Structure 1
Amino acid sequence: MRHIRIILHGKEAQNIAVRDAVRLLRSERCKIDVRVTWEEGDARRLAREARQLGVDTVVAAGGDGTLNEVVNGLMAADNRLRMPSLGVIPLGTANDFAHACRIPLAPLEALLLIAELPAVPIDLAKADSRYFINMATGGFGTQITTSTPEELKRALGGVAYFLTGMTQFTSISAVEGEVKAPDFHWQGAFMVLGVGNGRQAGGGHELCPDACLDDGLLDLSILPQDDQRSLAETVQYLMLDGGTALQHAMVTKRVPWLEIRARQLLNINLDGEPISGQCVRFEVCPSALGLHLPRHSPVLQKNVGLVDRL
């Protein structure tokens, strides 16, 4: 019998929908156990232990931050051990990764997908020694998304980011930096930086709208500072429009690795988890693990252009 271990964010321990989904599948077809997190680092530790114990599938039940911890825990185990497949039950505020992948938001539907559909190989990305599955972002957008209170995000959605951006208006500035990658070099001041294995971050902002999880490449998007575009307009487009109005202004490139050097300390958000430094190297890890996705998930190469026709 297949062994599924769910790593559940502690705030969702009493989630009735999750409990009902586990009860239904546990009685029918799978051995399912649940481990609940208490503090930061628990999801990483529990995921590492699950791989060491030979669990077949590890499920991250929480937000994008929980998913990031689970991925890093799986990758931290002895690489000679068999890698479990990965599933996602989206229980966060934004659920950017799940939305882009078209993973169901309802716990029962998400768990049925994990139980019934085979995992497909996907890439992971790495920022120095830290793995991420979705996206790394830098620039003022990172400052805004990380400082927006969870309560405000739950109440107002994307408008919350805009309001936070307006309150921090006077402290927002461009970042001076240099980006190097194979056949690519860019230098200047940027407002937003996105390095995508996935497509969107910060509550629906599609910084890398064409990224695929299984192409062996990272999608780079840079929004340069523009004297013709006011800071207020930039904040408005990014926070309320999801960034689509600024896609024409983005400098983009698809690369296997890249290095960023900044003149000042650069704050970067990895799937909701902050890191900082003046020099960061990003690289892709092709086919690093198997992920349970819908058959027509748009983030797979075979489905590019297909979803729009369905």
Structure 2
Amino acid sequence: MSSDAWHLILNGKNANEDTVRDAVAALRERGRTIHVRVTWEQGDAHRYALEAVAAGAVAVIAGGGDGTLHEVCAALAATDRAAGELPALGLMPLGTANDFATAAGLPLDPLAALEVVAATPPRPIDLMRVLPAGGGEHWCVNVATGGFATRITTETSPELKKLFGGAAYFLTGMARMGSIRSARGSLRGPGFEWDGEFLVLAVGNGRQAGGGQLLTPDARLDDGVIDVMVLPPPPPGETTAALGALLSRGRAALLEAAVRTRLPWVEIEAEEGLTFNLDGEPLEAPRLRFEAVRARLCMHLPDVTPLLPDEAPAGRSPG
């Protein structure tokens, strides 16, 4: 069974927003069939994505933040179908941080986001497959973070995010500065080994997390590798100076102090166990393997996006 319909999987928090309703109405007035499914609890987005596959939808649009995008991507990627046999992925960014959308150059206005789906052909994108020790399979479209960054993400309250948006992560980080504790782990990949303590560990298919922090700024969605960034703790007695440099110089100071590499896969192990956030979703394990899976999905993105080659695709899909 096939259909030219779009399925919009909308986070329930955004269901009553006038801008979302107006955007859907505008596309329907142009003749586009859009089925809207509103999530109520964990797992709904996953189930709705599979229903869209079964219905032969031409596009599945994640309407929400990075977590909603994560759940939809994971559902599609876990099927036994090739990218060309799955609905194309779209994104209507409605979250607090919208890290993936911001890095990709996607518009944050709901109507403009739907118009990207209507006007641009889908292009293949890589995903990260995450395999924890003991079995199981997880997927990540943007950035997985561990260490102090993970603590900031998990401890930032929904109320603070509602008030301050992406800046809430920065405020939480400032409040926790006095309790910074490094973790210890080892990393291994083709031609690469590293062992030691770290404050922040990021594995990126996309570029930013935590409300705008560019942790893997050179990552691309189509290169078959994942970008790894490890930030070791500063030497004894230099913590205050290092934090001052991060606050005053931001990304430049972070990247100067970091260990960075690009690999088709990387295995990460820690004796005390690891807590990672995959697009904001927590995962705990003593050992994790991250793999770049080339062209696992196709996605509607702007003609010009930092996450894909500079040249725009040759054709355009019918609106």
Q: Into which bin does the TM-score normalised by the smaller protein fall? A: over 0.9
Shift of 1:93: 0.2
> Which residue of 1 is the match for residue 111 of structure 2?
108
> Which residue of 2 is the match for residue 149 of structure 1?
157
Q: Which amino acid aligns with 1:122?
A: I
8 Å CA contact 1:89–1:107 kept in 2: the answer is yes
8 Å CA contact 2:77–2:297 kept in 1: the answer is no
**Distance in 2 (alpha carbons) for counterparts of 1:156 and 1:36:** 25
TM-score computed with the length of structure 2 as normaliser: 0.90
TM-score computed with the length of structure 1 as normaliser: 0.92
> Which residue of 1 is the match for residue 120 of structure 2?
117
RMSD: 2.1
Q: Quick one: structure 1 residues 40 and 239, their matched pair in 2 at CA, closer, same or farther if it must change by over 3 Å?
A: farther
> Which residue of 1 is the match for residue 31 of structure 2?
29
**Distance in 1 (alpha carbons) for counterparts of 2:164 and 2:247:** 12
- Equivalent runs, 1:13-92 vs 2, <5 Å: 13-79=15-81, 82-92=85-95
Counting aligned pairs with the same residue, the percent is 48
> Which residue of 1 is the match for residue 316 of structure 2?
none
Shift of 1:301: 2.8
Q: Quick one: structure 1 residues 234 and 43, their matched pair in 2 at CA, closer, same or farther if it must change by over 3 Å?
A: farther
8 Å CA contact 1:71–1:131 kept in 2: the answer is yes
8 Å CA contact 1:52–1:77 kept in 2: the answer is no
Equivalent residues, number? 304
Deviations 1:195-251 (A, max 9, x none): 000000000000000100011110011111221674456566667865332111111
SS of equivalent to 2:214: coil
SS of equivalent to 2:47: helix
Q: Quick one: structure 1 residues 299 and 240, their matched pair in 2 at CA, closer, same or farther if it must change by over 3 Å?
A: farther
Shift of 1:163: 3.2
Q: Which amino acid aligns with 1:57?
A: A
> Which residue of 2 is the match for residue 12 of structure 1?
14
Shift of 1:277: 1.0
Where in structure 1 are there 5+ consecutive unaligned residues? 305-310
SS of equivalent to 1:301: coil
Deviations 1:53-109 (A, max 9, x none): 211100000000000000111123342692110000000000000000000000000
Q: Which amino acid aligns with 1:269?
A: N
8 Å CA contact 1:22–1:32 kept in 2: the answer is yes
**Distance in 2 (alpha carbons) for counterparts of 1:70 and 1:239:** 35
**Distance in 1 (alpha carbons) for counterparts of 2:69 and 2:248:** 25
Deviations 1:123-174 (A, max 9, x none): 0111111001001000111101111012212323454323323433454311
Q: Does 1:259 align with 2:284?
A: no
8 Å CA contact 2:127–2:139 kept in 1: the answer is yes
Q: Quick one: structure 1 residues 186 and 201, their matched pair in 2 at CA, closer, same or farther if it must change by over 3 Å?
A: same
SS of equivalent to 1:98: helix
> Which residue of 2 is the match for residue 308 of structure 1?
none
8 Å CA contact 1:206–1:242 kept in 2: the answer is no
**Distance in 2 (alpha carbons) for counterparts of 1:144 and 1:107:** 28
Q: Quick one: structure 1 residues 207 and 31, their matched pair in 2 at CA, closer, same or farther if it must change by over 3 Å?
A: same
Q: Which amino acid aligns with 1:160?
A: A
Q: Quick one: structure 1 residues 26 and 183, their matched pair in 2 at CA, closer, same or farther if it must change by over 3 Å?
A: same
**Distance in 2 (alpha carbons) for counterparts of 1:240 and 1:76:** 42
SS of equivalent to 1:126: strand
Q: Does 1:139 align with 2:144?
A: no
Q: Quick one: structure 1 residues 90 and 191, their matched pair in 2 at CA, closer, same or farther if it must change by over 3 Å?
A: same
Q: Which moved more, 1:81-90 or 1:295-304?
A: 295-304
SS of equivalent to 1:263: strand
Shift of 1:47: 0.5
Q: Where do 4+ consecutive residues of structure 1 move more than 4 Å?
A: 228-242
Q: Quick one: structure 1 residues 229 and 212, their matched pair in 2 at CA, closer, same or farther if it must change by over 3 Å?
A: farther
